[in-house]
Structure 1
Amino acid sequence: MHPVLLSLIVSVGINAVFFAYAALRRTDVVTDLSYSLSFASVALLLAALQGATDLFRLLAAVMVILWALRLGSYLLGRILSIKVDHRFDGMRDKPLKFASFWILQALTVVIVLAPVSVVLGGAGSATLPGLSVAGLVLWAIGMAIESLADAQKSAFKKAGTPGFIRSGLWAWSRHPNYFGETLVWAGMYLYCLPMLGSAAIPSLASPLGITALLLFVSGIPLLEKAADKKFGGQAAYEAYKSSTSIFVPLPPKGTES
């Protein structure tokens, strides 16, 4: 079986089970958990089925699993604290609309994980070429940025500080965690590229897809809309919004030397 097809079966299966639970219980607690679990499960299964023992494939699997564990634990802790994910307001009582989110989530896992699936499902041993080392470094930078941004926002929330976060990485970007995530998957693509062969071009859907999703679909647009609704019209928020990059961390306007 082609590894991407196996990835599709596993991802759809996991998300179908969690969707059924979420729909029946009308809960948001398991949504992000299923997302992270799908990535980790596919990577583990493909590595186990192929008997991946060479450093190249082991590192590919470990990179995915570490990212999934870190993100999954963070998101689970957050939803257990806030209880409700307002992305799903107006969807929980509409099964077809609610299901469409889960279908998109399952397909996102397959597309984003495609280069890793191809590598883990391949035959033969592999070395660690220079391009893969560069990809590993980029992945590590992305992980560091995403993790630090999430930690800073979590600390801000726990402190009970009123308003919105605008310190740390958030002083340079309104969504630094999403920027970090795009670097993670760009790094994964570069890491896998030497072993992708004819799948190299189709696998570009991974870094390009996750970037497009976060920039234009389910990431930044929803959060910007929510922030505008909550803080719009406040002088501090409008100043922050006009002076701070929406995505790529850059010095705030007016502070460059």
Structure 2
Amino acid sequence: MLQELALGAALDFGLQWGLWGLAALLKTEKFYDLAGSGTFVLLANLSLRWGHTQYLRQKIQTGLVTVWGLRLGGFLFLRILKEGQDKRFNHARENPATFFVYWTLQGVWIFVTLLPTLILNLEKRDRALGSRDYLGWTLWAVGFLIQAVADQQKWAFKADPDNTGKFIQHGLWAYSRHPNYLGEILQWAGLFLAASSVLSGAQHLSILSPLFVWFLLSYVSGVPILERQGLKRWGADPAYQHYMKMTPVLWPFTG
């Protein structure tokens, strides 16, 4: 298994660094998110083949990663084509060294987040499907639905000219300031839970997957960036101040 994991990591970072070279040359981030989600899908399906077992649990897990990657990657690619740029990269796309850090971090995100699924697909042992699997996949489904609905609600909101310069505060966004990130965390937590049905010993350290996603979105590349942008844009607006005060950052009904 270690050999296959090392091969997966090499392929992951090889792709990110190779695409960084192209992105740095073109000075564009337009295919950054698509490359990330595409690598998830590629590695999940390759690990299923490398394992030579293809148990039902492995097939379902790989299918869920594939569905997640196709939906999110496609959505983010269409969004950046429409908007023209991603503000996260305003100080990076012109600086190859800084841009390289972004692409490298994406490689880390991919491998750590996908680790439970990679281990599951490479594991030779199997067990009958049980409550942990069904609970994990249900959690994934809830997260997938939350993320997809939140993304669609914000897309529709921004597409309405009457909402130009306004912030969204209805639908799922009335219960969480970042419901799309909540959905993301729930999906990977669910996939770890299902994979844990056959994990043993040190393999349980792959719980780093949902913890890493939560930490990354909550403290590094997700919430902090958007919160700063929101305060800069609407911080003086009493309605936004009320929204910030009354609406939880991530987890509904926790404020």
User: 3-state DSSP class of the match of 1:173?
Assistant: coil
Q: Aligned AA for 2:31?
A: V
**How much has 1:231 moved relative to structure 2?**
1.0
**Equivalent residue, structure 2, for 1:20:** 21
User: 3-state DSSP class of the match of 1:165?
Assistant: coil
**How much has 1:151 moved relative to structure 2?**
0.7
**Equivalent residue, structure 2, for 1:7:** 8
Rounded Cα–Cα distance in structure 2 between residues aligned with 1:77 and 1:180: 20
Q: CA RMSD in A?
A: 1.4
Deviates more, 1:82-91 or 1:43-52: 43-52
Q: Aligned AA for 2:91?
A: G
Is 2:144 the partner of 1:143? yes
**Equivalent residue, structure 2, for 1:78:** 79
User: 3-state DSSP class of the match of 1:119?
Assistant: helix
**Equivalent residue, structure 1, for 2:218:** 215
Rounded Cα–Cα distance in structure 2 between residues aligned with 1:221 and 1:63: 28
Is 2:246 the partner of 1:237? no
1:170-189 pair list within 5 angstroms: 170-189=173-192
Rounded Cα–Cα distance in structure 2 between residues aligned with 1:72 and 1:92: 20
1:162-210, CA deviations, whole angstroms, 9 ceiling, x for partnerless residues? Answer: 3011010001110000011100011001000011112343111101000
**How much has 1:117 moved relative to structure 2?**
0.5
The alignment-based identity, stated in percent, is: 35
Q: Aligned AA for 2:22?
A: Y
Query: Tell me, which stretches of 5 or more residues in structure 2 are unaligned?
Result: none
**How much has 1:124 moved relative to structure 2?**
4.2
CA spacing shift, 1:63–1:249, aligned 2, 3 Å: same
Q: Aligned AA for 1:187?
A: G
**Equivalent residue, structure 2, for 1:246:** 249
TM-score by length of 2: 0.95
Q: Aligned AA for 1:61?
A: T
Q: Aligned AA for 1:132?
A: D
**How much has 1:63 moved relative to structure 2?**
0.9
Rounded Cα–Cα distance in structure 2 between residues aligned with 1:116 and 1:6: 15
Rounded Cα–Cα distance in structure 1 between residues aligned with 2:6 and 2:67: 23
**Equivalent residue, structure 2, for 1:203:** 206
1:160-179 pair list within 5 angstroms: 160=161, 161-162=163-164, 163-179=166-182
Rounded Cα–Cα distance in structure 1 between residues aligned with 2:127 and 2:81: 41
Rounded Cα–Cα distance in structure 2 between residues aligned with 1:126 and 1:67: 25
- Does the CA-based 8 Å contact 2:47-2:121 persist in structure 1? yes
